[in-house]
Amino acid sequence: MTAPEIASGVAARARAWHLERRHLIVAGTILIAALIPIAAQSFVLFQLTMVMVYGLAILGLNILTGFNGQFSLGHSAFYGIGAYTAALMTHLWGVNYLLTLPAAGAVCFVIGFLFGLPALRLQNLYLALATFALAVAMPQILKFHGLEGLTGGVQGLVVDEPDPPSFLPMINADQWLYYLTLIVTIVMFVLAANLVRSRSGRAILAIRDNPIAASAMGINSALYKTLTFGLSALYTGIAGALGAFAVQFVAPDSFSFLLSVSFLVGLVIGGVGSIPGCLFGGLFVLYVPNIANSISTGLAGAVYGVILLAVIFIMPAGAAGFVRYVLARVTGAGRSSA
Amino acid sequence: MELLISQIVSGLATGGVYACMALAIVMIYQAIDHLNFAQGEMAMFSTFIAWQLIQWGLPYWVAFAMSAAVSFAGGIVIERVLFKPLHNASILSNLVGFIALFSILNSSAGYIWDYTIKTFPTPFGHKPLFGGLVDTHAVGMISVTVVLLGLLYSFFRFTRLGLAMRAAAANPESSRLVGIRVGWMTALGWAMASAIGAVAGMMIAPVVFLEPNMMLGVLLYGFAGAVLGGLSSPAGAVIGGFMVGVMENLAGTFIPYVGRELKLTLALIMIVAVLMVRPSGIFGRRVVSRV
């Protein structure tokens, strides 16, 4: 065999091994996640539920920004719409909580799709401003006194934590919500991974990489961009609904622009364009502010900023890029591809 | 009619604050091609430095000049230490860098000078003008903004250094070939933007009062003004800032029922509507790229 053939053989084997290993890691993670409620206290369980919720919301943002190249500072608004949809449906109309998840997704899809239409004309920072307007407007609209009867105004709404189903008598409400979130997260992540590998997914990526070449190849750029906007909002909306059940409360100021910034930080830290990275982003968004606070209460913000800077200096491509780099080094495949 | 005029005039007065900020935002955008989310916090920090100097007994204008000078140097330091290493990183990584800087400056200012609201002196006084519609400070602030704009225009239009900075921003590679030190031009852009931010902060502080979070609202409006006017045009940014102030006031007054509560929302909707018609801002150049 010639040298290139050997090299490609090694690379192929490394890739196969990498693939198997990846499946093992995913299966192992799911197994551990499924076993956690046996040992963990309910506060830890709540935190982990929120990690998954943020991970889902960040995945929504990633679909739009990471895969389609459209900026958004407005995902806090979609998250808020999802949360309020769930709160309104269960609180005011007494709808079963399981139905609120698809409803929140559908509402956000429609709003995201509609918002995607004007967004077609805007690029980069101008799109950032338009979505930013959405983020700033959302808490104000929720507080608006004309809608107070519906949204509860500044006071917000109380959301009941769903009861575990009667055929599962041994788990409590916190554990049930954790499992529900876990199932939804797994399903949504698998769907996203499949989407990216599909024909539509390739079209979405092509628009990001080269919009002109993409439309020259017959991709309906406008349609795909608006659909991606809707889909992205759908993910974040479902995350919002789950988040509302976990927090058991919705209020306008929880869905401010700062939440959008958190999503963005999670996206970059986890890895732009990486699906498993979103969960790492969720971990970062939930835990790092607490860690910073425990290091120094007075300078919590400064510590947070320093951690943030350290992470982007050490891992410029996010956690996912870092893991890829380390794996490539360990398996030796890095030498042929890097 | 009288109400309309008075609302427009007071909108112009608040718009002056936004115009100041918008100008600083566009300056740094021109130099580094990124929108600096920490700009407001940098300005706030500079203003605190000036406040501290005044507290130590220095006269206003000395403190003013020293704060601007310190900010100028600080801008270079931030660029060299934090953002030069991120030069080749993605836009989003840079954005996170700005968020980190924002968080660090905000938290440190709160730690050093605490969160109580402080008054900041103005050299122009607070005497009412035009029957109480605006005061002398508002007029002084707008004049300072306009003078600053004139100075910047001359700098970029008529000096070698200004030309070199524009070239470095427009086409780094070719500029490097003709001997422009592109890296230092970027640093200089940061320095100037930081100093302009300091001036803006010192002009704004007498209106909104000095505290670590004073710039948050102003930055949002300044950002909106800059984008509305067009990020490629400093004069457009200033006009955009004034327009945001006026639109916000008019929406609050003349749109019945929803106006007062949702005036920020309405102003933003108007801005987005304007951008629909002119996607690069009112005075911005359309960027045409060769395929």
DSSP tag of A63 = I
* pLDDT confidence of residue B217: 76
Length of chain A: 338
Interface check for B90 against chain A (CB to CB < 8 A): the answer is yes
CB contact under 8 A, B35 and A125: yes
A54-68, A130-144, B255-269 — most confident range: A54-68
Of the candidates A122, A123, A316, which has its C-beta nearest B93's C-beta?
A316
Interface check for A109 against chain B (CB to CB < 8 A): the answer is no
CA separation, residue B268 to residues A88, A129, A155 (Å): 27, 9, 25
* pLDDT confidence of residue A81: 94
* pLDDT confidence of residue A194: 92
Using 50, 70 and 90 to split pLDDT, how confident is the model at A172? confident
Interface check for A144 against chain B (CB to CB < 8 A): the answer is yes
Interface check for A120 against chain B (CB to CB < 8 A): the answer is no
Measured between CA atoms, the residue of chain A closest to residue B217 is: A136
Segments of A137-218 assigned E as strands? 157-158
**CA-CA distance, B283 to B289, in Å (whole number)?**
19
Q: What DSSP string describes B127-140?
A: -EETTTTEEHHHHH
CB contact under 8 A, B95 and A141: no
A157: which strand partners? A250
Cα-to-chain-centroid distance, residue A212: 28
Q: How far apart are the first and last CA of chain A?
A: 23
Query: What pLDDT digit, counting tens, does each position of A63-95 carry?
Result: 999 999 888 888 999 999 999 999 999 888 888
How distant is the Cα of A35 from the closest Cα of chain B, in angstroms? 34
Interface mutation target, options A122, A309, A314, A315, chain B, most CBs of B under 10 Å: A309
A278-292, A309-323, B204-218 — most confident range: A278-292
How high is the mean pLDDT of chain A? 85
Spelled out in words, what is the top-level CATH class assigned to the domain A43-298? mainly alpha
Of the candidates B90, B103, B269, which has its C-beta nearest A301's C-beta?
B103
Looking at domain B2-113+129-277, does it have CATH number 2.60.40? no
CB contact under 8 A, B90 and A312: no
CB contact under 8 A, A301 and B106: yes
**CA-CA distance, B229 to B19, in Å (whole number)?**
10
Interface check for B107 against chain A (CB to CB < 8 A): the answer is yes
Interface check for B291 against chain A (CB to CB < 8 A): the answer is yes
Q: How much is the pTM?
A: 0.83
CB contact under 8 A, A140 and B224: no
Query: What pLDDT digit, counting tens, does each position of A14-60 carry?
Result: 666 666 777 888 888 888 888 888 787 888 889 999 999 999 999 99
DSSP tag of B285 = P
Question: Tokens representing A60?
Answer: 């929504």
Percentage of the residues of chain B whose pLDDT score is greater than 90: 15
Please name the residue that has the structure tokens 């100021």: A253
CB contact under 8 A, B100 and A312: yes
Tell me the three state secondary structure of residue A210: coil
Within 10 angstroms of residue B117's Cβ, the number of other Cβ atoms is: 10
Sketch the domain layout of chain B as residue ranges: 2-113+129-277
Chain A neighbors of B106, CB-CB under 8 A? 301
Of the candidates B96, B220, B280, which has its C-beta nearest A136's C-beta?
B220
Interface mutation target, options B35, B87, B107, chain A, most CBs of A under 10 Å: B107
Residues 6+ apart with CB under 8 A from A325: A317, A334
Interface check for B223 against chain A (CB to CB < 8 A): the answer is yes
Q: Give the CA diameter of chain B.
A: 61
Question: Tokens representing A333?
Answer: 């495949």
Q: What DSSP string describes A5-32?
A: HHHHHHHHHHHHHHHHHHHHHHHHHHHH
Interface mutation target, options B29, B84, B91, B99, chain A, most CBs of A under 10 Å: B99
Q: Is the pLDDT of residue A338 over 50?
A: no
Angle at which helices B2-32 and B160-170 cross, to 10°: 80
Measured between CA atoms, the residue of chain B closest to residue A129 is: B224
Within 10 angstroms of residue A253's Cβ, the number of other Cβ atoms is: 12
Amino acid at B49: I
Helix (DSSP H) and strand (DSSP E) numbers for chain A: 15, 2
Within 10 angstroms of residue B118's Cβ, the number of other Cβ atoms is: 15
Interface mutation target, options B103, B228, B263, B282, chain A, most CBs of A under 10 Å: B103
CB contact under 8 A, B271 and A65: no
Please answer whether residues B226 and B241 qualify as being in contact, where contact means their C-beta atoms are separated by less than 8 angstroms.
yes
Sketch the domain layout of chain A as residue ranges: 43-298
**CA-CA distance, A169 to A103, in Å (whole number)?**
28
Residues 6+ apart with CB under 8 A from A146: B257, B258
Amino acid at B54: I
- The H or E element that residue A249 is part of is strand A249-250
**CA-CA distance, B167 to B81, in Å (whole number)?**
24
> Higher confidence at residue B43 or residue A336?
B43
CB contact under 8 A, A129 and B100: no
- The H or E element that residue B59 is part of is none
* pLDDT confidence of residue A18: 61
Cβ-Cβ contacts under 8 Å between A and B: the total is 124
Q: Nearest to residue B48, comparing CAs of B109, B101, B123? A: B109
* pLDDT confidence of residue A236: 95
